[in-house]
Structure 1
């Protein structure tokens, strides 16, 4: 290993100086640059003294008059320059994965495990309760907090565990309560091994160290709550009363026809790569499938297009494991060709 924990290093592409704080493997380390930590490949780093001795100085350094601490102006951040973070991500809260590589018995580079980080690129701090489930069974739980514009290391998972359909669930609360915002907020991320394999290939080609999934943009506002109390007794005592038979009225409307083409789901489809579009499509499908079941729709048409068939295959794979699915079919239809799947639901007796 070229570097050890505590070594001072220089980031070649940015010329920033930092310190090695963790050895990830023989090709990657965790570097701290002015309080910001991120992974870096060792071939992208160098020792500061090598940089200083190899710099060509055409002129001797100019002697400047001494300045005392009370003479220095307050430091101002350079305009337009942001802190370098674990990943260059847009605003929002993200789940970021760092593949840890190792060599197998044949000398080939393989992914041994994934380091998982919660990345908060918002101006608000959150308390969070994180859970990792396999086939509905809890495997890892963590309660903690993450401040604004910070990264939080969660844990590692073996790469082979991706074959066990991991589900990442997280519930958030505001560190500073806001009466206009919801009391809590939940997100769920389901990963499939094939998606992660293709994502890792993409970042290797680009020379990047991590890949990420956006969990949400901003904490939602509080929704108005309706109470029903014909006698007024309980509500007068401070209790909130809900009528179960009207619960569906408070859900978002279901769709009997769902179009998953990228231009129907986002205003800027060109800004997303193929993997991000597929992830958005599958998350949208999950959302409206659940709404269709909640509203007891008899059937639902999902328009996935023809293309390579990857989106269709992933949806069919999900449908085979879903409760309340009586059957589904992908047959020719004059309106969609073979680019749509019709789902038929069944519900238990009341």
Structure 2
């Protein structure tokens, strides 16, 4: 199949044109025109219209790495930015977003029903993006398992982190939140972070801590029902912290408060994260969605917090 989702094509035998919005099989595609109706057509009956570039098609130029101030060398910040096509809103494009100071050697593959396919391999320069995949948003339940392999590289005097391997099976809740501005793309979309470890609670170790001698037992102070994660509430020196340091401090405070709520068997706890750019909210929701002790979570009372707080119901 020579066509991809988002390609602009023209019918050979009719005065019609539109965007490829579905790959039906090796011979058939779905094309959506200005009337927003999708028409199934043989791939041999359309031709590419040259001169149109879908959103995100331009590749960032990779230049020789220049020395940077090691004091501002960003080690964290690898995301998947998912944005809708400007001309075909039913299609979403996946971009690998590198806000770190490393060059990333990235490989991306998919797996569905034991069928594996390499989708992308290349170098992502610091502070740049690369479009790696496209899909029909309506077919989300049919999307394959995504696997990302990322190796860090720099000519600077910086120790590179261990290679990153992330497997992701997207669900509807990953795209239920309000769109936010995706870094570097200057487009609204959904942001999924790849370089943060998932929260893993060792139930056995937590259980063992209850039977330690008094001098060894871990003490969890009972948390308040509302935990404010605004950085100015957590650190007096917040104006001197980098963005990556702030998010780490906020997430550490979140983990501590959540563990304490679980140990003290609170029925629920509310985290005040603010609206802002939505990164902290997304990180919390990602961790809560995979937490074995969380029954559900939702936006807290809007009349009190607006859209800046999340209420967590514990099991």
Q: TM-score per shorter chain, which class?
A: 0.3 to 0.5
Structure exhibiting the larger radius of gyration computed from Cα positions = 1
Q: Which has the higher contact order (CA 8 A, sep 6+)?
A: 2
TM-score by length of 2: 0.42
Q: What is the TM-score normalised by the length of structure 1? A: 0.38
